[in-house]
Amino acid sequence: MKPLLCALAAVLLLGCSPTPPVRIGFVGGLSNGGSDIDQDGRNGLMLAVEQRNQTGGVHGRTIELLVQDHGQTPDKVLAAIQTLVDAKPDAVVGPFSSGVAATLLPVVNQAQLVLLSPTVTSLDFVGKDDFFIRLNRSTRDNAADYADMLYQRGQRKTAVAYDTRNASFSASWLKEFRTAFVAHGGSVVAEVAFGTADAGMAATVRQMLDGRPDGLLFIAKTADVALLAQQAEKLAPGLPKSAAEWASSEALMALGGRAVEGLLTAQAFQRDDDSARYRAFHAAYLARFAREPGFSALAGYDAATVLLQALDQRTAGESVKDAILQHGPYQGLQQTIRFDRFGDTNRKMYFTEVHAGRFVRVP
């Protein structure tokens, strides 16, 4: 009888074993110069996961978040994504820059692991049947909107500085802006590339001013736009300044000070949204992290909404990728999210200007 009793006990123990968690990976730059955007994205994802766990997770399974900081070098990026691949999560949220995405994508495609980016926009990833799903619109859409706005504001000769360290984004954005701005009748009178080995932001701005522009446009991360704006105010005070959406994080005003007053930028985010859904998110985010949510916080939260709804509605035998593409549309915090068959989507953009240290929406 003893062997039989032992076997029955083993069956009972297996039956009582805890249900394995749903595992979601996160990959972002949490310790580099542009980490404010990635940190906000992680925070938005974390908040959504915590809230969902409070209501039972996914079919009673707790959601476990696996966070990897990809640092600043390609080797660290590859090490971070390989760590996540080895952990076998259901999907990974991130990255937040196009340059990092280009490094990660071959690895996740080979592993057939879904990579869900809240913010990447480069045309390098549009219309591709792969495991990369994007919640943002493309550089073509964004840059064309900037060209329209700047031309409407009377700019005819724009000088551009762009960061080659994220060339997948910045070069694509510049190409699309140039095409759209010239089509309106404007001209790009200077295109100044910069990176870690360059002489400095003052030299970059001087090269921009050599073209005698009536406006300056920066395609760079928040910290660099703040520095460029400060040099521009010294060398050409009052000249209109704008920055691609990459720079539109909450850190811009703290880093740029008075130099970024009046700067034009855009993002898929309404800070003045008074809907009940957004106000609840805003209050919860502020209480959890003691800071205002930026555009990437909202995007990270929306990425979690998409993924958790897809996992909740996923049918037997259905891949995570197919579940995401098939079980939409998804109600984001401010916009409805719909994917095409390639995992691409579109989002409405809102232009803002910095006034009195705040982003104020342009009517």
Tell whether the model's pLDDT for residue 27 goes beyond 90.
yes
Q: What's the average model confidence in pLDDT over 43-63? A: 97
Q: Which of 222, 249, 267 is the last residue of a domain?
A: 267
- Assess if residue 248 is contained within a domain: yes
Find where tokens 């360059």 sit.
198
Residue 130 · residue 109 · CB < 8 Å: yes
Element of type H or E holding 141: helix 139-152
CATH number (domain holding residue 113): 3.40.50.2300
pLDDT per position as a tens digit, 235-254 = 999 999 999 999 988 889 99
Gap between the Cα atoms of 79 and 67, Å rounded: 13
Give the pLDDT band of residue 199 (cuts 50, 70, 90). low
- Assess if residue 296 is contained within a domain: yes
- Assess if residue 45 is contained within a domain: yes
Domain count, the chain: 2
Neighbours of 156 (CB within 10 A): 15
Higher pLDDT, 15 or 18: 18
Q: What is the mean pLDDT of the chain?
A: 92
- Assess if residue 4 is contained within a domain: no
Higher pLDDT, 19 or 155: 155
Gap between the Cα atoms of 115 and 117, Å rounded: 6
Q: Going by DSSP bridges, is the β-strand pair 215-219/187-194 parallel, antiparallel, or unpaired?
A: unpaired
Record the pTM.
Answer: 0.87
pLDDT for 195 equals: 86
pLDDT for 1 equals: 43
Give the pLDDT band of residue 11 (cuts 50, 70, 90). very low
> Using the 8-state DSSP alphabet, how is residue 164 labeled?
G
Give the pLDDT band of residue 36 (cuts 50, 70, 90). confident
- Assess if residue 352 is contained within a domain: no
Tell whether the model's pLDDT for residue 198 goes beyond 90.
no
Q: What's the average model confidence in pLDDT over 316-342? A: 96
- Assess if residue 74 is contained within a domain: yes
pLDDT for 268 equals: 86
pLDDT for 212 equals: 97
Tell whether the model's pLDDT for residue 285 goes beyond 70.
yes
Same domain, 115 and 201: no
Same domain, 26 and 116: yes
pLDDT per position as a tens digit, 137-169 = 999 999 999 999 999 999 999 999 999 988 999
pLDDT per position as a tens digit, 315-326 = 999 999 999 999
- Assess if residue 37 is contained within a domain: yes
pLDDT per position as a tens digit, 86-119 = 999 999 999 999 999 999 999 999 999 999 999 9
Higher pLDDT, 71 or 28: 28
Cα–Cα nearest to 214, from 166, 156, 270: 156
Q: Going by DSSP bridges, is the β-strand pair 22-28/63-69 parallel, antiparallel, or unpaired?
A: parallel
- Assess if residue 280 is contained within a domain: yes
Tell whether the model's pLDDT for residue 6 goes beyond 50.
no
Q: What's the average model confidence in pLDDT over 277-281? A: 97
Same domain, 131 and 220: no
Tell whether the model's pLDDT for residue 180 goes beyond 70.
yes
Give the pLDDT band of residue 337 (cuts 50, 70, 90). very high
pLDDT for 10 equals: 47
40 lies in which domain range? 19-137+275-337
> Using the 8-state DSSP alphabet, how is residue 272 labeled?
T
pLDDT for 322 equals: 98
Same domain, 144 and 133: no
pLDDT for 207 equals: 96
